[in-house]
Amino acid sequence: MKRIVRAVVASAALAAGLLSVPTTASAAGTPYVPGTLRPSVSQATQDAALQKYYAFWKQNFLTTKCGSGTYAVLSKDADHSFVAEGEGYGLTISAMMAGKDSQARSIVDGILKFVKAHPSVNNKDLHAAEQDANCKSVNGSDSATDGDLEIAYGLLIADQKWGSAGSVNYKAEAVRIINAIKKSEVNGTTKFTLLGDWGNDAEYKNSSRSSDWMPGHLRAFAKATGDSFWDQVRTRSETAVSQLQSQYAPNTGLLPDFVVSTNTTPKPAPADFLEGPYDGKYSWNACRDPWRLGVDAITAPNSAAAAQVRKMTTWIKSATGGDPAKIQSGYSLSGSKTESGQHPCFTAPFAVAAMADPGSQAWLDKLWTAVSSWSPDSTDYYGTGITIQVLLILSGNYVAA
């Protein structure tokens, strides 16, 4: 299964009257590593921004059209109406909003029902990555690793929030998926994540997606299963990030969307490897890396990601002159822009990276203003979903499973 690279979407004005902001506000997430920066605004202001985007996301991207008791996340800007990463985002976002939204558990249960109704043809415990407007699996009905990683993580968060003694055993569901990921979406020899359960063939078995190297998720999988295999997967990707930064992006710290030669020395994929001409660049997949690495840097003491995201922060501050409005929609690994224009999936993740850099308070505050004042687009599920998850982290409401 090959996925289509996303197009840039324009922002639209936020519709009025979508929510009421709660009168109480307190960070409800995992305590951060000492020294972690936070935006220089009140907790109430941070929570209000989170609530605004969450309400917008619920109104524009959640649907119950796929069956009684189901919820599903519409991916209006992707190549199909529903994609696995969107369902994973929905599970994680909704679980983390427990305590702030009385519907959160119903949404989690409904998305899980949708996911289980659409199993991969290769491994029934994984999710078929794409469904059409009629809620039918299409394009081979196989899986995408990024979606399954997020689905499993979201269920671990649900277990933390509600326990697993109710109608759904969230922990058991998560472990079932984690074990299936190990079996079908990780190269057992190289310990790198594959692109999907279709990726273990001659053409793709020694390739990976850098945005799937989520150290926090892998830590959670090791904890949930007691399986040290996940520590090996995390350590291997941490080493690869440092290698790629040193050899291919010494001045920027940027990573490519796709990585090849994982069985020898990892290197950026060539153009048109899977999705398009920027497959070896910092583009629409790798834009998530400062967020995914950054959140591990601020939640896991002595994380390798701390130094890795500081490299990215040092470069992007210099490249933009400290102006978030100048962050572009993609770069070569040397730092030249590949696509022009702003998009939240490129801007917002740098805010998480900034939280791990003690010298970046002013930069973080500028990014906070940019992210929290962005007018979300009702057709941009990708940018909106990433923005909410970044706001969960910035506001202290992120949960490390």
The label of the residue with tokens 């994680």 reads 92
The pair of three-digit structure tokens given for residue 118, joined into one six-digit string? 């659409």
Strands 130-131 and 62-63, by their bridges, are unpaired
The pair of three-digit structure tokens given for residue 125, joined into one six-digit string? 């415990």
Give the rounded distance of the alpha carbon of 186 from its chain centre: 18
The label of the residue with tokens 């969450």 reads 54
Q: Confirm or reject CATH 3.30.930.10 for domain 43-394, answering yes or no.
A: no
CA pair distance 20, 364, nearest whole angstrom:
27
Residue 63 identity (one-letter amino acid): T
CA pair distance 190, 179, nearest whole angstrom:
17
Give the rounded distance of the alpha carbon of 382 from its chain centre: 10
The pair of three-digit structure tokens given for residue 283, joined into one six-digit string? 């583009």
Q: What is the DSSP letter of 282?
A: B
Please pick, among 85, 87, 109, 296, the residue that the annotation labels catalytic.
85
Q: Is 146 a catalytic residue?
A: yes
Query: What is the structure's pLDDT at 6?
Result: 40
Backbone angles phi, psi at 209, to 5 degrees: -110, 120
Q: Is 87 a catalytic residue?
A: no
Query: What is the structure's pLDDT at 1?
Result: 34
Helices and strands of the chain, counted as H and E runs: 12, 7
Query: What is the structure's pLDDT at 10?
Result: 33
Closest CA to 363 of 293, 312, 300: 312
Given phi > 0 = left and psi -120 to 50 = alpha, else beta, which region is 239? alpha
Strands 258-260 and 267-268, by their bridges, are antiparallel
Residue 145 identity (one-letter amino acid): T
Cβ atoms of residues 85 and 146 within 8 Å: yes
- Please count the CA atoms within 13 angstroms of the CA of 320 that sit on its side-chain side: 23
Cβ atoms of residues 159 and 98 within 8 Å: no
Please pick, among 146, 212, 279, 357, the residue that the annotation labels catalytic.
146
Q: pLDDT (tens digit, 0 to 9) for every residue of the chain, 401 residues total? A: 334 334 333 333 333 222 323 323 346 789 999 999 999 999 999 999 999 999 999 999 999 999 999 999 999 888 899 999 999 999 999 999 999 999 999 999 999 999 999 999 999 999 999 999 999 999 999 999 999 999 999 999 999 999 999 899 999 999 999 999 999 999 999 999 999 999 888 889 999 999 999 999 999 999 999 999 999 999 999 999 999 999 999 999 999 999 999 999 999 999 999 999 999 999 999 999 999 999 999 999 999 999 999 999 999 999 999 999 999 999 999 999 999 999 999 999 999 999 999 999 999 999 999 999 999 999 999 999 999 999 999 999 999 99
